[in-house]
Structure 1
């Protein structure tokens, strides 16, 4: 089955239309060769988990499938998401010296203060755009401050993210020449901006993450400036949009399930489990890619070496062979082994930060507002769900706690 099947039915695909297509594909053949796109598509939790668990057979290095482009190659030097061991381990270990659990936990007071400041900006308003007011600025300010780059430049960061993650076509494959040419100017601008800040910190170190990355050392080896560009760019772009998506998706899920919303309002200690269910139910990134390094059998299909695999995470998270009643939103789901943050060596390094930001923001929203509802007479705008499962604009109606008492 090809993605063109669902594209033909919907020129403006919705998450529901994609989920319906994925359900049909998963039930008919969990592993299928898409001859139109020249990729293998995987839909089942077990097969996708196997791929993510075996980086030797299923490589994250996509360089041979992507046309050579200097700006992309510079960005890729420190982007360990697209690396295999042993280089992946070396870079991740170096980055982990600077990006520590302690650094994340120390952000709790700042995340809470920022959430309050941002919501103070719409104090008294009965309606506001949750994305513009909170879900976008909160994580991007946190990351910018953590890195030591100007928060005032966050408009640039949003523009870069919109360009790098947008795609107009329903194609699960990797960028072709035309796409790389479209992305090159944005990559060049972002790389140059970050490299300038890294060089400035090398000359004048401070107490920020970039300075700590410059000091990180294993066996006498340190990261060079160009390697730091890749990690910082990844954290800046993927880091903030993950939390933006997670916050918006949490409100959307709870709005659709008012009993769960009421339960969390009565007992906010259940928020961590609810956030995990949001991640399963509406994962920010719908898919991942891998490359076969040797011939392998998956789902009863013989797949040759050097094939591109598209792993549909959003489908794995709805697989009835792994999750009971998978299309039901259940904040009590246990266990909840979703794959939204990846698995094994490539498990998302920023997952604890995204979870923390979402939990603190939701606690404060529940404390401030006695009701939060998606505005029914206004327009919710979504990202293209082939690339991101996230709201771009999310108007909400709120009633302040204590109002009318």
Structure 2
């Protein structure tokens, strides 16, 4: 008779009030106190930059196949991952991304011009969410009628994920499949008259010696949509909040917009839009002095690794001379974000239009921003004055 494995004692509670009240502060403390920590909720969490990089680089030991559901290609390992990744990268080639800039600028300028001036606004709902929805639909070729349903879907998905409500998560996934199924069927019915966009092109893609299946296309579009809507919304809120709180930096960027790309990556390093990512161990491994068995859940804490003092010194200092290769904002290794160039373009263009179209972005006295909670980064509400 085999022995029953001894239950691992929890080192922390990621869902405690003290952690959720200020996630970044809590993760900073964990990086110092217990950099490889166990919890029932997240499994083993890695807080140090070096440990996270090790897991990202060693996909043989730290597998991305963490879900029982199809996840193309983020939930795959080589060799299965390789062909799908190559296919997806074609949709984010430099020429296609650059060609999207005029549309992105038009959407950005329109949203900025529509912001009320001199009164309190919530930047999350008035700009960040609207930008993320419109920019995503525009890039994928989706109709404006999907803006509100998709936004509501992302909110419900986030709530179900946080609660680990598997029943609700399954129902929400099926709802998304319905939206995408309708878009794909309309394109199939249109034949040669279907719009020339990313979504239509996926119907023509081959993997090995066959066309992509319906489920594979839906998985790809789901990953793109959830990732884009959530992270772009968070990024816009984080950038707006940081500039409102740092008037000197805001003025410096207004005077020299060419500094924006570096400033954006740096601000999002110190206040990350994505808190974590998952892996699972394929064999027993020692990391940070802790022995982790095969089959254990691993949580890569981006929100801590990108603030590691051993790599970045003062994690809250915005510097323009850091080594960009150390910034894990868009990941690293075989799963580095394929849409990083697109995301950088979208954020740069929006912030250019935001700064050009306003005279000042300022905090609202006595009003506090409401931080988003795990697994989201950024803010749930962000009161600001736009002048």
1:394 has 2:382 as partner: yes
Deviation of 1:227 after TM superposition, in Å, equals 0.5
Rounded to whole Å, the distance in 1 between the matches of 2:256 and 2:178 is 47
Partner of 2:20: 13
- Check 1:144–1:3 CA distance in 2 against 1; reply closer, same or farther (3 A cut): farther
- Check 1:97–1:58 CA distance in 2 against 1; reply closer, same or farther (3 A cut): same
Partner of 1:258: 247
Contact 1:277–1:333 (CA under 8 A) maintained in structure 2: no
Partner of 1:82: 75
Partner of 2:331: 342
After TM superposition, list the pairs within 5 Å mapping 1:6-405 onto structure 2. Answer: 7-8=15-16, 10=18, 13-15=20-22, 18-34=23-39, 36-37=40-41, 39-63=43-67, 73=69, 76=70, 78-122=71-115, 126-166=119-159, 175=164, 179-204=165-190, 205-217=194-206, 219-326=208-315, 328-336=316-324, 337-378=326-367, 380-384=369-373, 386-399=374-387
Which consecutive residues of structure 1, in runs of 5 or more, have no partner in the other structure? Answer: 67-72, 400-405
Deviation per CA, 1:193-218, whole angstroms, max 9, x where unpaired?
10221122133232011111122235
Partner of 1:402: none
Rounded to whole Å, the distance in 2 between the matches of 1:28 and 1:163 is 34
Q: TM-score, normalised by structure 1?
A: 0.86
SS of the aligned residue for 2:206 comes to coil
Contact 2:237–2:379 (CA under 8 A) maintained in structure 1: yes
Rounded to whole Å, the distance in 2 between the matches of 1:129 and 1:23 is 28
SS of the aligned residue for 2:320 comes to coil
Rounded to whole Å, the distance in 1 between the matches of 2:313 and 2:133 is 36
Rounded to whole Å, the distance in 2 between the matches of 1:188 and 1:167 is 14
Contact 1:166–1:387 (CA under 8 A) maintained in structure 2: no
Rounded to whole Å, the distance in 1 between the matches of 2:17 and 2:113 is 44
SS of the aligned residue for 2:360 comes to strand
- Check 1:200–1:8 CA distance in 2 against 1; reply closer, same or farther (3 A cut): closer
- Check 1:24–1:146 CA distance in 2 against 1; reply closer, same or farther (3 A cut): closer
Which consecutive residues of structure 2, in runs of 5 or more, have no partner in the other structure? Answer: 1-8
Deviation of 1:155 after TM superposition, in Å, equals 1.0
SS of the aligned residue for 1:321 comes to helix
Rounded to whole Å, the distance in 2 between the matches of 1:152 and 1:349 is 27
Deviation of 1:144 after TM superposition, in Å, equals 1.1
